[in-house]
Chain A
């Protein structure tokens, strides 16, 4: 089955710096890669996603890149702000069975 690994588990940056979170997946049949943000005590919410036929996608300060050959994808946050502090999860969904598997999460802390 699909296995998604996520690194780092914690990340601390200064306000205004960039943050990068990396994930790898194992199932070559996976074709959809979302990223979720979870604030303390709340439900995960989608912030950006990418499909397997796209290499990069950007939405304001957030971007995701996908390398299908290497089976890894990354989240990039530029000009970080204190409100970016949260836990971020990557995930991969298989095309056939629709199984959605998550990574173990990254606790991002943006310090003033």
Chain B
């Protein structure tokens, strides 16, 4: 049971380049999330998807787009990377209302130069 799998683990981009972070879960969860983690800022929600076919903005959606491709996969796209997007990105899945914990992927360390 792999849980939540994120790719890649590390990435260096030049300013203006684009990329997609991939996330897949095998736990049959409806909810999936993308967070970014910066020192002293905690885990800030970028986008989330409460169920297949729906996506909603979190606290810091600017500069990002998401796709809930199917129940298993939730991808995060940076169309034109900026140095301010240098961060560690975590995908998570799981939980519905008051039931069930969210499980995290191993994270992607992204550096934009």
Q: Measuring CB to CB, which residues of chain A are less than 8 angstroms from any residue of chain B?
A: 1, 6, 9, 31-32, 34, 42-46, 49, 51-53, 89, 91, 93, 95-105
Contacts and interface: CB of A to CB of B under 8 A. Distances in A.
Contacts of A42: 106
Contacts of B33: 100
B35 interface: yes
Contact of A105 (B42, B90, B92, B97): B42
Contacts of B59: 1, 101
Nearest to B102: A100
Contacts of B56: 97, 99
Nearest to B44: A102
B48 A99 contact: yes
Contact of A44 (B30, B90, B97): B90
Given A100-B102, A102-B45, A105-B40, 8 more contacts: A9-B40, A43-B104, A46-B102, A51-B98, A52-B98, A95-B98, A97-B56, A102-B35
A9 B40 CA distance: 8
B42 A32 contact: no
A93 B97 contact: yes
Nearest to A44: B104
Interface of B: 30-31, 33, 35, 40-45, 48, 50, 56, 58-59, 90, 92, 95-99, 101-107
A99 B42 contact: no
Given A43-B104, A98-B50, A99-B56, A32 B45 contact: no
Contacts of B42: 6, 89, 102-105
20 contacts: A6-B42, A42-B106, A44-B43, A46-B102, A49-B101, A89-B43, A91-B43, A93-B95, A93-B98, A97-B56, A98-B48, A100-B48, A100-B95, A101-B45, A102-B42, A102-B43, A103-B42, A104-B40, A104-B41, A105-B43
Contacts of B50: 97-99
B95 A95 contact: no
Contacts of A91: 43
